[in-house]
Amino acid sequence: MSDGGLLQLVERVAGWADHGEAVEAYVARSHHAEVRAFEGEIESLSSAETEGIGIRVISAGRQGFAYAASLDGAIVAETLAEARDNATFGTVDPFAGLAVPDGVEPADIDLWQHELAEFPTDAKVALALEVERATRASDTRIKGVETAGYDDVSSEAAVASSEGVRASTRRTVCSVYVDAMATDGTQTQTGYGYSVARRPGDLDVAKAAADATHRSTRLLGARKPPTGRLTVFFDPMVTASLLGLLARALSGEAVLKGRSMFADRQGESVGASALTLVDDPTNPAAYGAGRYDGEGLATRRNLLLDGGVVAGFLHNSYTGRRSGTASTGSAVRGGFKGTPGVGSRALTLTPGDQSQEQLLAQFGEGLLVQSVTGMHSGSSPVSGDFSVGIEGLMVRDGSAAEPVREATVASTLQRMLHDVAAVGADLEWLPGSAAGVTLVVGDMSLSGS
Amino acid sequence: MIDDTVAQRVLGTALRTGGDFAEIFVEDRRTSSAHFDDGRVEQLSSGRDRGAGIRVVWGDTTGFAHTSDLTETGLAAAAEAAGAAARGGGGGVREIALTRADGPRPAGVEILPQDVPKAAKVELLQTADDAARSEGGAVSQVSVSYADGRRQILVANSDGLVATDDQVRTRFMVQAVATGDTGMQTGYEGPGATVGFEMYDDVDVAEVARTAARRALAMLKARPAPTGTLPVVLRRGAGGVLFHEACGHGLEADLVGKDASVFRGKVGEMVASPLVTLVDDGTYGREWGTYAIDDEGHQAQRNTLISEGALTDYMWDFLRARKHGRDSSGNGRRQSYQHLPMVRMTNTYVLAGDDDPDEIIRQTPNGIYCVQLGGGQVNTATGDFVFGMTEAYMIEHGEITDPVKAANLIGNGPEVLQAIDAVGNDFDTWAGTCGKDGQGVPVSAGQPTLRVSAMTVGGTAR
């Protein structure tokens, strides 16, 4: 079934809406290939297509949902019946409803590279083997590779509703990745490297291998640092996950339901003037980009923090309606198995004008955090408590010095926003929903020995 | 789900161009959930997922394909794709005779959730919301989730094995938000078990909700967690995650085989305090990680991993075990038919010791008392791991005093295992989802109250 076929299917289901009932159908189909390499051999090769449908019914102010991992006609009809039945148990909510077309035109972006569909399996295998080989060969201290491989996904989705929504999207993405293990004879350290692109021709295997080697070997000899307070330099990959945590507090749903530290603070300054945060899924450079959101409205550029001031929140059609504003095209779905929530897809800070090296030189002393663990076990976007395990390098006399491990850095998100001292110039789009950039945060607690 | 004769022919197709081993895994999963938030039933949701994953092993290479088309034609197409992926060469037709080896069912399910009226499920949500809010005006928001799932599986392989299982799981989760002068705090409680709707004979949803609410309220009075190293007492149940992270993952044979575990080559050695006996037990009661057969058709087992401090064995899936000429330990699991199986934990717990839990606290002059953990993460190659405390208190002069804010604890697995210096005579378990390589599976963890003599606490207090 082509892309047009998916759209026809959801339009047909939306057409089954009874009088006084609103029906939305969302279908997704993706083709996924994964090759894993280990010690010069192919460890596994998977190739599979996944498809399914999620149907939302709103009747008399109540919502029901059902999904099925099949587009078989009889199963689709059963799924609609199940969603209808589920709707009878909801609490009546005057704001319940589907998205209504708002006239915003989708961005003219093409995220589909046909080259990927024709990329032969042998070539995928070769990339997976090469990233593993290149990493092993890069440095005598590399003792092995925990995971190395090639992945790609071509996905198509379509959504249509009885309210007149009609949208389809498609995109491709591929990547090579490697987790290297380095040893100095007494200690093992690990480091991650990857390259991501919309088409295989743009993948940089050498960079992935070199990054993994650099990041694992530079931690060799790492020790537990002394406890203290210092300036922290977050590496771009870490900043990207920090932004993801922060964005959860900028969701209109969190605000409406009293789970956001930014509720009632629109227009107020909550952070340093260096902080301008935007979610822009219309930017084709972002891997979370798309022409339409999860409810079929056009995506758009949303300014969230403007020079440290809360400029706006993200909304889907429900939270927009209930807040007395409108959807910002920020409905996100985790596939066909769930209803649209509210979320960011392409977060980015406005970059500054200094490289990471220049920032280390400018601030002189502190801690460069290469990776964090426990971002979701020790931190909360509701309370703002922030505590993560870290690996990285101390910064002394303006440059990276001895490596450290088995320590934590902590603060609160509220304080960290005010303590942001600089944003780097090294902006890069990462796999997932945010761009990475070096972020300098003053006065954090380092807990070690 | 599919006939044995169909399975036989599909396995034959999978190995037509060669290969050492082929397997077909069929899964039919039905889920239902109900979500209550912000004072209202937001929605009920139901789902149906059905399909088959086929793998072909040829030397050290595994080819894998899956399909949602369970007709013989659909299965044969997936079998050919998996065979091609494994790069089969010569081969020839192989005849496979299947022998049924169904596992003993886990403790029988009394009430299939699919037979329970939806209204009865919805009623639980309202009860929980009322109970949480009754804990005090500072409880400003409550979200409640009900979930059940039935997963029927069939595994058939070219060794002639065919086995089935019918797994029913039930879960109830409450998150409360409390608001005070110091801002907002959250509290969570989420019991789950491998049972049907009869779980609610034992689990009082109002009590679950009150626990979550009290947790959020307590945290409003929390002071910043300390920094530096301190003794940490983990209340029964709460610290099971510590062992899951500190050594559980490092004892998975796939990671050991890749030299990505600090426990490689340590069988027979003392890797923990002699007070520690650690077990992974897929047969344990009606726990969240229990099943009759694993996702490769092998019976769940009780495996002792560490006995009085000495490492006895790793956990094995079929593929790794086969390479070492031994039996699987029943730990081959996968998230769904769309995923390849790998070595996973089930219910991982430390056996109770002799110490009086209250005495352990009394004999801790200054430290942390951790009541609930929010999950963790480990780097098995270095052994460094973290876990988050979501309800914890200071211990001062041998007494539990003020609550402390959420923070991560960090340690090194082998060092922390050696630093366990007291093990209580009580016991409890905790249900969670374990993530590995992008796949989530239900697991539980358990332990008695115990003390780690020193761990690094990731707070902010000077």
Say if A181 is an interface residue toward chain B (CB within 8 Å).
yes
Cβ atoms of A55 and A23 within 8 Å: the answer is yes
Tokens describing residue A25 = 């159908």
Q: How confident is the model at residue B462, as a pLDDT?
A: 73
d(CA B285, CA B279): 14
Report the chain B residue with the minimal C-alpha distance to residue A81: B46
Does residue B112 surpass a pLDDT of 60? yes
Report the chain A residue with the minimal C-alpha distance to residue B223: A385
Does residue B20 surpass a pLDDT of 60? yes
- H or E segment and range at residue A375: none
**Shortest Cα distance, chain B CAs vs residue A381, angstroms:** 10
Does residue B107 surpass a pLDDT of 60? no
Would you give the DSSP letter of residue B288? T
Q: How confident is the model at residue B109, as a pLDDT?
A: 86
* Chain B hits for A66, Cβ within 8 Å: 45-47
* Chain B hits for A338, Cβ within 8 Å: 45
Q: How confident is the model at residue B97, as a pLDDT?
A: 67
State pLDDT tens for residues A262-318. 998 999 999 999 999 999 999 999 999 999 999 999 999 999 999 999 999 999 999
Contacts of B177 (CB under 8 A, 6+ apart): A258, A259, A382, B139, B140, B141, B142, B184, B185, B186, B216
Q: DSSP secondary structure string, B391-429?
A: EEEEEETTEEEEEE--EEEEEEHHHHHHTEEEEBS--EE
State pLDDT tens for residues A228-237. 999 999 999 9
d(CA B375, CA A386): 15
**Shortest Cα distance, chain B CAs vs residue A248, angstroms:** 15
Residues 320-349 of A with CB under 8 A from B: 337-339
d(CA A243, CA A434): 7
Return mean pLDDT, chain B: 93
State pLDDT tens for residues B149-206. 999 999 999 999 999 999 999 999 999 999 999 899 999 999 999 999 999 999 999 9
Mean pLDDT of B91-100: 58
Report the chain A residue with the minimal C-alpha distance to residue B52: A48
* Chain A hits for B375, Cβ within 8 Å: 374, 376-377
Contact B259 A51 (CB under 8 A): no
Mean pLDDT of B144-148: 98
Q: Which among A404, A408, A414, A441 is the top mutation candidate for probing chain B, defined by the most B β-carbons within 10 Å of its own β-carbon?
A: A408
Distances from the Cα of B372 to the Cα of B403, B408, B429, B435, B452, angstroms: 12, 12, 11, 19, 16
Does residue B239 surpass a pLDDT of 70? yes
Return mean pLDDT, chain A: 96
β-sheet bridge partners, residue A35: A45, A150
Mean pLDDT of B356-368: 97
* Chain A hits for B454, Cβ within 8 Å: none
d(CA B3, CA B11): 12
State pLDDT tens for residues B428-462. 999 999 999 999 999 999 999 999 999 999 999 97
This prediction's pTM? 0.94
Burial environment of residue B71 by CB neighbours within 10 A (0 to 12, 13 to 18, 19 or more): exposed
- Which residue in B347, B374, B369, B344 sits closest to B358, CA to CA? B369
State pLDDT tens for residues A389-445. 999 999 999 999 999 999 999 999 999 999 999 999 999 999 989 999 999 999 999
Does residue B101 surpass a pLDDT of 80? no
d(CA A62, CA A152): 39
Percent of chain B past pLDDT 70, that is, above it, reads: 95
Of B242 and A136, more confident: A136
* Chain A hits for B137, Cβ within 8 Å: none
| Angle in degrees, 0-180, between the axes of helices A73-87 and A3-14, rounded to the nearest 10 | 40
d(CA A313, CA A62): 25
Does residue B92 surpass a pLDDT of 70? no
d(CA A151, CA A177): 8
Of B261 and B107, more confident: B261
Contact A383 B382 (CB under 8 A): no
**Shortest Cα distance, chain B CAs vs residue A55, angstroms:** 10
d(CA A116, CA A97): 38
* Chain B hits for A374, Cβ within 8 Å: 375-377, 386-388, 408, 410
In B158-200, the DSSP E strands lie at 161-180, 183-189, 192-193
**Shortest Cα distance, chain A CAs vs residue B147, angstroms:** 14
Tokens describing residue A301 = 């550029």
